[in-house]
Amino acid sequence: LDHYFTQIETHKDLNAFNEVFFDSAKKQAQEVQEKINQGTAGKLAGMVIGIKDNILYKDHSTTASSKMLEGFISPYSSTVAERLIAEDAIIIGRLNCDEFAMGGSNETSYYGPVKNAADPERVAGGSSGGSAVAVQADLCLSALGTDTGGSVRQPAAFCGCFGFKPTYGRISRYGVIAYASSFDQVGTLTSSVTDAALLLEVLAGADTHDSTVSRLPVPDYVSRLSDTGKKKIAVLKETLESEALDADIKGAILTAIDEFKAQGHTVEYVSFDLLDYLVPAYYVLTAAEASSNLSRYDGVHYGYRNLQAENLNSLYKKSRAEGFGDEVKRRIMLGTFVLSAGYYDAYYQKAQRVRRLIRDRIEVLFESYDVILTPVAPTPAFKIGENMQDPLVMYMADIFTVLASLSGIPAIAVPLGNNPEGLPLSLQLMAKHFEEDVLLSLAESFS
Ligand code: GLN
């Protein structure tokens, strides 16, 4: 813990932490040490972990990196925080992220951007940018993030760590601040596959507080890591042929494909012609869900309140106008529009149909293949400010990650070394619903 406290102080400029929990982490460390001495310590004893600042931890502040929740103290713990603590992980602090997890660069945070440790002029990725940089710069051993459309995988890719989003419904969302509830999923950022497997064992499984969590038994993921079964891998051809794809990323993925073949796996190129519909469907649906989820921030129940308001209506208006940042407001407006009476069928319902089509298509693909391979992001980490002028440019960068989110399948970002400038490169593997073990063992055999 002292090592990480020193590291955090040394790398303060990276802006990865919104708050370090000095007192509670020290107290936890003492308790864990006693348990270790008595031989009663849990599975994660000694794992120092940071949590994204949208995951509730009782009696600690949680803000979702928004002015709206400044000063909010969590009255209860999320299921994931409880499970970490029950297995003696030490929660060291809350990590910076895009405001309400809306963004792909960690630049929409009320607390300022997180800087990539490989090049501090570049973004960390988002929205779980603080979680990725904390692992990259050794500010904690591992971190929790949330992934709605790529927010664990893309920052992991930008920072050279493993970013793992399990199947929708594998991990409880209880106590995780909602962005788009039919997409949101807790994920892990780690420097090894073993840590990702260990964390999943602890976090996954039924929860009476969240009825969307699967009751399927939780396998022993760590012991399955050594499974060397040969897999059939489908590379989505259009993703590698995309003009937007950076040449170094493409080169690294082609080398990786050769390596998979050399290991005895079958790799085939297949066509996926729905690529152009992924980003539009994702943004219509997530904005709709966000506009509904964020209606609870009314200046009365939680967080920020304008004190000059003359009546209830002006209290709502002023509190929301001042409490939310621009990107969050853009999504609320877009979401309200696509849900409104005259446009519901044309946008929201249509996007839901597209989502169904994508899911069906993926299921057909999985009848012939075990794993799907694509890039994580079209480019390595870009410069801070570079993509902030045009939201569409930022949204389009999610093209490869939203497929797993729309279809609810598990996906992992696997690091592939660095480009000549020292920026991390990465590839993405996706598997069938609840086949996290397949993904993890394949990633392990490769790393
Ligand atoms: N960049 C995507 C978005 O802004 C993904 C965010 C996320 O997964 N939380 O919606």
pLDDT at 383: 97
Mean pLDDT of the chain: 97
Q: pLDDT for 156-180, tens place per residue?
A: 999 999 999 999 999 999 999 999 9
User: 284 C-alpha to center of ligand 1: Å?
Assistant: 12
pLDDT at 398: 97
Q: pLDDT for 290-329, tens place per residue?
A: 999 999 999 998 889 999 999 999 999 999 999 999 999 9
Question: Which residues on adjacent β-strands are paired with residue 233?
Answer: 267, 371
**Closest Cα to atom 4, ligand 1: which residue?**
103
Q: Which numbered atom of ligand 1 lies nearest the CA of 397?
A: 1
pLDDT at 359 over 90: yes
Q: Which residues line ligand 1 (CB under 6 A)?
A: 101-104, 127, 147-151, 179, 286, 398
Q: Please give the structure tokens belonging to residue 165.
A: 């989003």
Phi, psi of 388 (to 5 degrees): -85, -15
Average pLDDT estimate for 232-239: 97
Mutate to test the pocket of ligand 1, among 97, 102, 286, 400 (most ligand atoms within 8 A of CB): 102
CA distance 255 to 96: 34
pLDDT at 302: 83
pLDDT at 208: 97
Mutate to test the pocket of ligand 1, among 148, 158, 185 (most ligand atoms within 8 A of CB): 148
3-state secondary structure of 236: strand
User: By CB neighbour count within 10 A (0-12 exposed, 13-18 middle, 19+ buried), where does 8 fall?
Assistant: buried
Is this model's pTM higher than 0.95 or not? Answer: yes
pLDDT at 218: 98
User: 228 C-alpha to center of ligand 1: Å?
Assistant: 33
Q: pLDDT for 14-62, tens place per residue?
A: 999 999 999 999 999 999 999 999 999 999 999 999 999 999 999 999 9
- pLDDT category of residue 394 using cuts at 50, 70 and 90: very high
The 8-class DSSP code of residue 113 comes to P
pLDDT at 304: 95
Mutate to test the pocket of ligand 1, among 99, 123, 127, 376 (most ligand atoms within 8 A of CB): 127
210 within 8 A of 174, measured Cβ to Cβ? yes
User: 82 C-alpha to center of ligand 1: Å?
Assistant: 25
pLDDT at 71: 92
Average pLDDT estimate for 352-363: 98
Buried b (16+ CB within 10 A) or exposed e, 172-208: bbbbbbbbbebbbbbbbbbbebbbbbbbbbbbbbebe
- pLDDT category of residue 228 using cuts at 50, 70 and 90: confident
CA distance 269 to 385: 36
Q: Please give the structure tokens belonging to residue 133.
A: 């940089």
CA distance 108 to 102: 7
User: 349 C-alpha to center of ligand 1: Å?
Assistant: 21
User: 103 C-alpha to center of ligand 1: Å?
Assistant: 5
Q: Which numbered atom of ligand 1 lies nearest the CA of 151?
A: 8
User: 402 C-alpha to center of ligand 1: Å?
Assistant: 9
pLDDT at 446: 78
Give the closest residue to 81 by CA, choosing from 162, 163, 1, 175.
Answer: 175
pLDDT at 87: 98
Q: Which numbered atom of ligand 1 lies nearest the CA of 327?
A: 4
CA distance 120 to 330: 28
User: 432 C-alpha to center of ligand 1: Å?
Assistant: 22
CA distance 184 to 177: 9
Percent of the chain with pLDDT over 70: 100
| Domain 2-226 CATH superfamily | Amidase signature (AS) domain (3.90.1300.10)
Average pLDDT estimate for 127-133: 98
Average pLDDT estimate for 261-290: 97
CA distance 278 to 376: 14
pLDDT at 237: 96
pLDDT at 288 over 80: yes
Q: Which numbered atom of ligand 1 lies nearest the CA of 101?
A: 9
Catalytic residues: 52, 127, 151
Q: Which numbered atom of ligand 1 lies nearest the CA of 146?
A: 9
pLDDT at 303: 86
pLDDT at 121: 98
